[in-house]
Amino acid sequence: MRHCVAALVLTGFRITMAGAATPDLAPIQSGLDYHSFANIEQFRVTHLELDLRVDPFFKTLRGMVGLKIKRLDPNATELILDTRDLNVSDVTIKAQDVLGATAKSETTWVSRPFHFQKKDPILGSALVIELPPSQKTTLFVRIDYETSPTAPALQWVGASQTAGKHTGFFFTQNEPIGARSWIPLQDTPQVRVTYTATIHTSADVLAVMSAKNDPNAKRNGIYTFDMPEAIPSYLIALAVGDFQFKATGPRTGVYAEKSVLKAAAKEFADTESMIETSEKLFGPYRWDRYDILVLPPSYPVGGMENPRLSFITPTVIAGDKSLVSVIAHELAHSWSGNLVSNATWRDLWLNEGFTDYLESRIINAVYGEKREMMERVLGLRALKDNLATLKPADQVLAIDLRDRDPDEVFSDVPYEKGRLFLTYLDAKFGRERFDAFLRSYFDHFAFKSITTEQFVGYLQENLLDRYPGIVTPIQVTAWVSGPGIPQDAVLPTSTEFAPVDQARVDWLGGKLTSKELKLTSAGWAAQQWLYFLNNMPARLSTSQMADLDQTCAFSRTPNAEIGHSWFLLVIRNQYQPSYVRLEQYLETIGRRKLVTPLYVELMKTPGGAVQAKRVYALARAGYHPETVAAIDAIVNPKSEESDD
Ligand code: BES
Ligand code: ZN
Q: How far apart are CA 353 and CA 362, in angstroms?
A: 14
Residue 422 placed within a domain = yes
User: Residue 194: CA atoms inside 13 Å, Cβ hemisphere, count?
Assistant: 8
pLDDT band for position 108 (50/70/90)? Answer: confident
Query: Are residues 375 and 473 located together in one domain of the fold?
Result: yes
Residue 16 placed within a domain = no
Say what the pLDDT of residue 8 is. Answer: 32
With the most atoms of ligand 1 within 8 angstroms of its CB, the residue from 155, 187, 210, 301 to mutate is 301
Ligand 1 lined by 333 (C-beta under 6 Å): yes
Reply yes or no on whether the pLDDT at 9 is more than 60: no
Span 495-511, mean pLDDT? 98
Query: Are residues 92 and 162 located together in one domain of the fold?
Result: yes
Taking alpha carbons only, the member of 565, 567, 555 closest to residue 611 is: 567
Q: How far apart are CA 314 and CA 296, in angstroms?
A: 6
Reply yes or no on whether the pLDDT at 20 is more than 60: no
Reply yes or no on whether the pLDDT at 62 is more than 80: yes
**Residues of 594-625 as b/e, b for ≥16 C-beta within 10 angstroms?**
bbbbbbbbbbeeeebeebbeebbeebeebbbb
Comparing 15-19, 57-61, 63-67, 391-395, which segment has the lowest mean pLDDT?
15-19
Number of domains comprising the chain: 4
Span 507-520, mean pLDDT? 96
Contact between residue 112 and residue 91 where contact means Cβ atoms under 8 Å apart: yes
Average pLDDT value over all residues in the chain: 93
Query: Are residues 72 and 168 located together in one domain of the fold?
Result: yes
Q: What is the pLDDT of residues 178-193, one digit of tens each?
A: 999 999 999 999 999 9
365 CA → ligand 1 middle, Å: 22
Say what the pLDDT of residue 621 is. Answer: 92
Ligand 1 lined by 304 (C-beta under 6 Å): yes
Residue 27 placed within a domain = no
With the most atoms of ligand 1 within 8 angstroms of its CB, the residue from 174, 333, 352 to mutate is 352
Query: Are residues 229 and 258 located together in one domain of the fold?
Result: no
Residues that place a CB less than 5 A from ion ligand 2 = 352, 355
493 CA → ligand 1 middle, Å: 24
Query: Are residues 268 and 378 located together in one domain of the fold?
Result: no
Span 526-552, mean pLDDT? 97
Residue 226 placed within a domain = yes
Query: Are residues 183 and 86 located together in one domain of the fold?
Result: yes
Say what the pLDDT of residue 107 is. Answer: 73
Residue 24 placed within a domain = no
Last residue of a domain, one of 297, 318, 334: 334
Task: Please name the amino acid found at residue 556.
Answer: R
Q: What is the pLDDT of residues 572-589, one digit of tens each?
A: 999 999 999 999 999 999
Q: Work out which ligand 1 atom sits closest to the CA atom of 406.
A: 9
pLDDT band for position 637 (50/70/90)? Answer: confident
Task: Using DSSP bridges, classify how beta strands 290-294 and 252-257 pair: parallel, antiparallel or unpaired.
Answer: parallel
Query: Are residues 397 and 314 located together in one domain of the fold?
Result: no
Query: Are residues 268 and 126 located together in one domain of the fold?
Result: no
Q: Work out which ligand 1 atom sits closest to the CA atom of 313.
A: 21
pLDDT band for position 101 (50/70/90)? Answer: low
Whichever domain contains 434, its CATH number is 1.10.390.10
Q: DSSP state, 577?
A: G
Reply yes or no on whether the pLDDT at 13 is more than 70: no
Q: Which ligand is nearest to the CA of 594?
A: 1
Ligand 1 lined by 419 (C-beta under 6 Å): no
Q: How far apart are CA 644 and CA 641, in angstroms?
A: 9
495 Cα distance to chain centroid = 31
Whichever domain contains 579, its CATH number is 1.25.40.320
Span 530-534, mean pLDDT? 98
Whichever domain contains 285, its CATH number is 3.30.2010.30
Ligand 1 lined by 275 (C-beta under 6 Å): no
Say what the pLDDT of residue 393 is. Answer: 97
Give the whole-number percent of the chain exceeding pLDDT 70: 94
Ligand 1 lined by 71 (C-beta under 6 Å): no
Span 533-549, mean pLDDT? 97
311 CA → ligand 1 middle, Å: 10
Residue 254 placed within a domain = yes
Ligand 1 lined by 561 (C-beta under 6 Å): no
Ligand 1 lined by 307 (C-beta under 6 Å): no
Return contacts of 569-576, CB within 8 angstroms, 24+ apart. 569/533, 569/536, 569/540, 569/545, 570/545, 571/598, 571/601, 571/602, 571/608, 572/538, 572/539, 572/601, 573/539, 573/540, 573/541, 573/542, 573/545, 574/605, 574/607, 574/608, 575/542, 575/545, 575/546, 575/549
Query: Are residues 44 and 119 located together in one domain of the fold?
Result: yes
Say what the pLDDT of residue 98 is. Answer: 67
Q: Which active-site residues does the annotation give?
A: 330, 415
Say what the pLDDT of residue 106 is. Answer: 65
Span 283-296, mean pLDDT? 98
Q: Which ligand is nearest to the CA of 593?
A: 1
Query: Are residues 116 and 247 located together in one domain of the fold?
Result: no
Q: What is the pLDDT of residues 398-440, one digit of tens each?
A: 999 999 999 989 999 999 999 999 999 999 999 999 999 999 9
Contact between residue 358 and residue 337 where contact means Cβ atoms under 8 Å apart: no
7 CA → ligand 1 middle, Å: 20
Task: Please name the amino acid found at residue 172.
Answer: T
**Residue 621, C-beta contacts closer than 8 angstroms, at least 6 positions apart:** none
Residue 28 placed within a domain = no
Reply yes or no on whether the pLDDT at 476 is more than 70: yes
Say what the pLDDT of residue 133 is. Answer: 85
> Which H/E stretch holds residue 140?
strand 138-146
pLDDT band for position 16 (50/70/90)? Answer: very low
- Which residue owns the Cα nearest ligand 1 atom 10? 304
Query: Are residues 351 and 407 located together in one domain of the fold?
Result: yes
Contact between residue 41 and residue 29 where contact means Cβ atoms under 8 Å apart: no
Q: Which ligand is nearest to the CA of 336?
A: 2
Q: How far is CA 15 from CA 19, 393, 402, in A?
A: 6, 18, 12
Q: How far apart are CA 435 and CA 431, in angstroms?
A: 6
205 CA → ligand 1 middle, Å: 27
Query: Are residues 534 and 414 located together in one domain of the fold?
Result: no
pLDDT band for position 105 (50/70/90)? Answer: low
pLDDT band for position 124 (50/70/90)? Answer: very high
302 CA → ligand 1 middle, Å: 6
Q: Work out which ligand 1 atom sits closest to the CA atom of 593.
A: 22
Give the whole-number percent of the chain exceeding pLDDT 90: 90
pTM as predicted: 0.95
Q: Work out which ligand 1 atom sits closest to the CA atom of 302.
A: 21
Last residue of a domain, one of 481, 509, 537: 481
Span 244-251, mean pLDDT? 97
DSSP string, 340-386: EEESSGGGHHHHHHHHHHHHHHHHHHHH-HHHHHHHHHHHHHHHHHH
Q: Work out which ligand 1 atom sits closest to the CA atom of 407.
A: 9
Task: Note down the domain range covering 254.
Answer: 242-334
Whichever domain contains 116, its CATH number is 2.60.40.1730
Q: Work out which ligand 1 atom sits closest to the CA atom of 355.
A: 11
Reply yes or no on whether the pLDDT at 482 is more than 70: yes
Q: How far apart are CA 220 and CA 198, in angstroms?
A: 12
Residue 255 placed within a domain = yes
Last residue of a domain, one of 432, 447, 481: 481
